[in-house]
């Protein structure tokens, strides 16, 4: 499944880019994320508590930052498995910057396996869209609450 969304944030692209790469800020923006542990350069394990539908529990989601082009684009590869199935996803984000805001164009490619796939593509798409919207709303709030960039652009 592929999903495309656009989000506008009232912050410069450099600040948004740096913030997305900050593991602590990322943890606060991901619904249910309890902790994020660095496993190697640009790779993390996110411990996410799921409490929805037929599955409740803790899932470790592998996150890898790829295609890192400061202030222009970044991609995140996500892999997670649990008893009812698993997901593999790539979120590609392109940044368009103006003086007052950033436009983030996101393309999500999602592959769902196991019993999770039985939910149906419309429900999975709606859930994925909702999670992206929640993530960017929280990112917007986190950036508004902090006056400083959270990490240096690499």
Q: Which domains does the chain have, with CATH numbers?
A: 2-145 (3.30.530.20)
Q: pLDDT band at 87, cuts 50/70/90?
A: confident
* Number of Cβ within a 10 Å radius of residue 139: 22
Q: Are 19 and 149 in contact (CB under 8 A)?
A: yes
The pTM (predicted TM-score) of the whole model is 0.84
Task: Supply the pLDDT for residue 151.
Answer: 47
| More confidently predicted of 150 and 59 | 59
Q: What are phi and psi of 107, to 5 degrees?
A: -125, 115
Q: Is the pLDDT assigned to residue 149 strictly greater than 80?
A: no
Listed in sequence order, the residues at least 6 apart from 151 whose beta carbon sits closer than 8 Å to its beta carbon are 18, 19, 21, 22
| More confidently predicted of 48 and 56 | 48
| More confidently predicted of 115 and 146 | 146
């Amino acid at each position: 499944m592929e999903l495309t969304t656009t989000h506008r944030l009232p912050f410069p692209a450099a600040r948004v880019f740096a913030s997305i790469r900050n593991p602590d800020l990322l943890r606060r923006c991901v619904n249910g994320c309890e902790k994020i542990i660095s496993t190697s350069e640009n790779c993390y394990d996110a411990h996410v508590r799921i409490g929805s539908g037929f599955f409740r529990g803790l899932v470790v989601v592998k996150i890898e930052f790829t295609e890192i082009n400061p202030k222009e684009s970044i991609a995140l590869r996500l892999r997670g498995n649990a008893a009812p199935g698993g997901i593999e996803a790539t979120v590609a984000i392109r940044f368009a910057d103006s003086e007052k805001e950033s436009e983030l164009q996101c393309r999500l490619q999602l592959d769902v396996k196991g019993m999770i796939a039985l939910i149906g593509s419309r429900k999975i798409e709606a859930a994925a869209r909702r999670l992206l919207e929640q993530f960017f709303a929280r990112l917007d709030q986190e950036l508004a609450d902090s006056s400083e960039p959270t990490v240096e652009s690499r």
